[in-house]
Structure 1
Amino acid sequence: MVVKALCSLPQQGGWRGAVFMLVLGAVAALALPPLCFFPILPLALGLFYKAVCAAPGHRQAALWGFLFGMGYHTAGLYWLTNAILTRVHEFWWVVPFAAPGVALLIAPLVMVPALLCRSVPPGWPRVAMFAGSWTLADMARVFYFSGFPWNPLGSALEVPGWLGDWLIQPAALIGVDGLTLLLVLASLAVWQGRRGLLAVVACAGLWCGWGAWRAGHEAVLPGHVNPAVVVVQGNVTEDEVLGRDDAVSQFRSYLELTAQGVRDAQRLVPGRPAVVVWPESAFPGLLEEEGWARQAIAAAASGAPVLLGSDRRAAGVDRWYNSLMALAPDGHIEAIYDKSRLVPFGEYDPWILPFHLLPAEVVPGPGLMTWNLPQVGRVGPMVCYEIVFSGGVVAPGQRPDWLLTISNDAWYGNSAGPRQHLATGRLRAVEEGLPVVFVNNRGVSAIYDARGREVGRTEWGREQVLVRPLPGPEAKTFFALLGRWIPALMSLLFVGAALVGRWFDEKGRSV
């Protein structure tokens, strides 16, 4: 009775149906990290699917898709408002539009499955078309500006603890987009009668069983021993990062935490070389130009290399690189990685903005790379946003032994934003078969092994040091070999199967 009453709301059209679609999309966002309440998806996606199928025309079906997408992405990205609040005296008028504005750009993608599923017969062909086209449209988000593949539905399976470890293991085969495909399919299949429900239950049992087996086994490549990692979380607020009013005390605090972390590493992980990691925006200046600071950092690290974030001048122009630098034990810079995937609205102003939101723009670097450094080993460096890109975190032909991303999510406060960002690191570990070190300015920072199991983490909003021996890498996963071609081809197969169902339906009618 309740389901029938809910289904009748969008069929009535008007403002009630529109509000219902927005709310339904927002309810679906409860499945995203950090809540990961994925059992809500059969209800939210099921009601949305039924509303689209029952729409009297394509125009209303498209509208329902757009409104569902607006609700979903606005709720999932609500924390973007916090970034505007750091400069609220200048952009107070943008505050109500931060999350809805980004949602407005990507919500039209939800119109794709809403329209395409109506082109094939009801039943399994329509379910297959919806799931396949949803996934393909969602994967297309990498082409928005510099890419915005944030919050794919597959991340809903990243439940904290052992259950999440089990559920995300198939990402080693099909990636997070493959998880999205199967999760959407399962959410609709439970509405397809008893057989559909039984099929979902059986597949879920096999999924968890295989995931439990895989998560419970080690498969580290022999001879690959990674260093002990000293994660330094300075807990500097964004106002302090921007203002630099207390830069000297911030720097001293990082030096003290570094010295403490190196001592802890020598005591807790004897026999392994230690590497210290500071987050993005950790150094309050231009490290490349300040030799005294490099010497101070080297002295605090007592012979351990230090990997840390710092701005860097772009030669000949009034622009900047957002960089990750590797300091040798003697204080000289061994390697520099310049962030290549930039955040739209955060590091550059997209062409659609009629005004300048940023005081200065960041220049993109040449692309991903792998460092091979003494005491550090083979590491794939990234800065902040770049860890979000499934299948795009390893330089071609340069497979590292571990992945590192440094970030400053203090912009977004103690919200879902930093937790959603951290969740991407967990999935990248499973997809690539590589341990991931995620170091954040205020938290949450964490270390994951090559199967996405948590090795250690810090808390939000605390000045903290985390010392752990870094697990070794595994052999290349199936996903690491073929990347996003796998979920793309899977989705195309579902779309093709739906079209075949349409052909048989039309042929049956003509007989």
Structure 2
Amino acid sequence: MGQFGFGVSWIAESFYVDSERFGALAIPAVAGLSAGLAIFPALTAMLFAAVMQRRAVGGIAAGLLLATCWVALEWLRGHVLTGFPWNLAAYALVDHAALRQTAAWVGSYGLSFLTVFIGLLPGVLIVAAPNRRVPVLVLFAVAVMGLWGGGALRLGTNLPTTDIALRIVQGNVPQVEKWAPGSRERTLEKYLSLSARPGRFDLLLWPETAFPGFLDEDALARRRLSTVLPDGRILLTGVPDRVEGDGETRYFNTVQAYDGNGEILTGYAKHHLVPFGEYVPLRGWLPIERLTEGLGDFTPGPGPRTLAIPGAPLVAVAICYEIIFPGQVVDDLFRPDWIFNATNDAWFGTSIGPEQHLASARMRAVEEGLPVVRAANTGISAIIDAKGEIIARLETGQTGVIDASLPTALAPTPYARFGDWTSLALICAVWALAFTVGSARRCFNSEKSKSEES
């Protein structure tokens, strides 16, 4: 409860955007979510205790068992009821360049397993018998140096930039103003003004719902795009969309690509929607409203998709919190060259939420071996290379643009090829090694005892 209560406290900020309707729910929502998430480490402890009651193990094996239980329940937390893999144990290493590189091989769940196991070894050392402390010390040193050494080798890979020039626009429009009556013109003018600053770019990137309306239905607004998109430049922007059919209107949260004539080139619809933010689960049973403005619940898109844009590398799109899901951002059959993360963290003010969100984006870059370009309404906008390093950023609350070249992609990582199977393979390999070493030690002790008796 303590970990999650602090770690997701930023959610309360979203309830205060419309405080008259939702402010009273802020504390109960954070407490309820924290209690729900706390079930998973509680189940970790229960599973560990149940196994220990049936077959008590000690030392390194006990540490392996607890780390395995932890990551198994962490994986479930990322998948059950649409999943919420926020603040995984692996993210403790996100600011350590060499240590985070292991995610390229085993993903964030595999790195969580190693992080928890290595973190447990000092405790194992304390309770170990004096004659068994040396192996624990050796294992601790080998594990830490292995993580660091493998990551350092990957960091040695050269990462040049491409000749594609990007311009990310951070409009810094407060959430309370975004959907206010009459604000659409001011918001569009602000984004157009920032986009028109001197400087060369090939791709113009606006954040999630940068235009607070249906841009594809607003011919005048699309014509005004030509002022900032001359010479074949392309705009990628987050916008809501609606489709009429079968006697109903379906709404989508999308990123759409526009050319200088205001024509739509392609688009992507968000497939992993935010419960209670973009739709209400069990709407017929729960008397709860959505926290966001809109005419109805959003409809999920078909899934990860790679977009082909004229004159630009292939791109995958992740809208807002879609970027927090390991292995669920990129189309496995049609690998892109970079990931565009359009988001609107204005809901969370100056809390720790945007920094945590950015940490997830950095881990996706490492896992997939792809640069991640992040456009956020109020920040943090950033360009992240394929090793998770931040090349450029705009802080929360800043208004401005980032002009930079798109970093190159690396070859597909093992995690990009095989997904969470690499995490499972790592856990099985570590257990096999532990059993092998344990069996060898028992055989050695048995032979030693026989020799002493003879």
Letter in 1 for 2:122: V
Find the aligned partners of 1:280 and 1:77 in 2 and give their Cα distance: 21
What residue is the counterpart of 2:154 in the other structure? 214
What residue is the counterpart of 2:450 in the other structure? none
| Secondary structure at the counterpart of residue 283 of structure 1 | coil
| Secondary structure at the counterpart of residue 333 of structure 2 | coil
Find the aligned partners of 2:164 and 2:274 in 1 and give their Cα distance: 31
Paired residue total: 420
What residue is the counterpart of 1:310 in the other structure? 239
- 1:427, distance to aligned residue in structure 2 (A): 0.8
Q: Please give the per-residue CA displacement for 1:300-351, whole angstroms capped at 9, x wherever unaligned.
A: 2223100001111132324410010000122100001110000112111123
The 5-angstrom pairing of residues 350-429 of structure 1 reads 350-351=281-282, 354-358=286-290, 360-429=296-365
Letter in 2 for 1:211: G
What residue is the counterpart of 2:81 in the other structure? 145
Change in Cα spacing, 1:73 to 1:500, as seen in structure 2 (3 Å) is farther
Is the contact made by 1:129 and 1:494 (CA closer than 8 Å) also made in structure 2?
A: no
Q: Is 1:332 paired with 2:263?
A: yes
Q: Is 1:456 paired with 2:392?
A: yes
Is the contact made by 2:5 and 2:30 (CA closer than 8 Å) also made in structure 1?
A: yes
Match of 1:255 among 169, 174, 192: 192
Match of 1:184 among 108, 116, 122: 116
Q: Is 1:228 paired with 2:188?
A: no
Match of 2:279 among 345, 348, 352: 348
Q: Is 1:491 paired with 2:420?
A: no
Between stretches 249-258 and 348-357, larger displacement belongs to 348-357
Letter in 2 for 1:437: V
- 1:442, distance to aligned residue in structure 2 (A): 0.3
- 1:249, distance to aligned residue in structure 2 (A): 1.6
- 1:146, distance to aligned residue in structure 2 (A): 2.1
Find the aligned partners of 2:76 and 2:433 in 1 and give their Cα distance: 21
TM-score, normalised by the number of residues in structure 1: 0.78
RMSD of aligned Cα (Å) = 2.4
What residue is the counterpart of 1:265 in the other structure? 200
Where does structure 1 lack aligned partners over 5 or more consecutive residues?
1-69, 267-273, 505-511
Letter in 1 for 2:235: V
Letter in 2 for 1:248: E
Find the aligned partners of 1:338 and 1:98 in 2 and give their Cα distance: 28
Higher strand share: 2
Is the contact made by 2:162 and 2:405 (CA closer than 8 Å) also made in structure 1?
A: no
Between stretches 330-339 and 111-120, larger displacement belongs to 111-120
Higher helix share: 1
Where does structure 2 lack aligned partners over 5 or more consecutive residues?
126-132, 441-454
Find the aligned partners of 1:256 and 1:155 in 2 and give their Cα distance: 37
| Secondary structure at the counterpart of residue 446 of structure 1 | strand
Between stretches 81-90 and 107-116, larger displacement belongs to 107-116
- 1:198, distance to aligned residue in structure 2 (A): 4.2
What residue is the counterpart of 1:17 in the other structure? none
| Secondary structure at the counterpart of residue 265 of structure 1 | coil
Q: Is 1:115 paired with 2:50?
A: no
- 1:490, distance to aligned residue in structure 2 (A): 2.9
Find the aligned partners of 2:181 and 2:383 in 1 and give their Cα distance: 29
Find the aligned partners of 1:170 and 1:149 in 2 and give their Cα distance: 18
Find the aligned partners of 1:175 and 1:100 in 2 and give their Cα distance: 30
Change in Cα spacing, 1:433 to 1:457, as seen in structure 2 (3 Å) is same
Is the contact made by 2:255 and 2:267 (CA closer than 8 Å) also made in structure 1?
A: yes
Match of 1:204 among 136, 144, 150: 144
| Secondary structure at the counterpart of residue 373 of structure 1 | coil
- 1:96, distance to aligned residue in structure 2 (A): 1.2
Is the contact made by 1:135 and 1:491 (CA closer than 8 Å) also made in structure 2?
A: no
TM-score, normalised by the number of residues in structure 2: 0.87
Match of 1:287 among 193, 198, 215: 215
Match of 2:100 among 142, 151, 168: 168
What residue is the counterpart of 1:6 in the other structure? none
Between stretches 430-439 and 355-364, larger displacement belongs to 355-364
Is the contact made by 2:414 and 2:422 (CA closer than 8 Å) also made in structure 1?
A: no
Q: Is 1:473 paired with 2:405?
A: no
Letter in 2 for 1:311: P
The 5-angstrom pairing of residues 30-179 of structure 1 reads 70-118=1-49, 119-120=51-52, 121-159=57-95, 164-179=96-111
Q: Please give the per-residue CA displacement for 1:42-101, whole angstroms capped at 9, x wherever unaligned.
A: xxxxxxxxxxxxxxxxxxxxxxxxxxxx22111110000001111221123212112221
| Secondary structure at the counterpart of residue 20 of structure 2 | helix
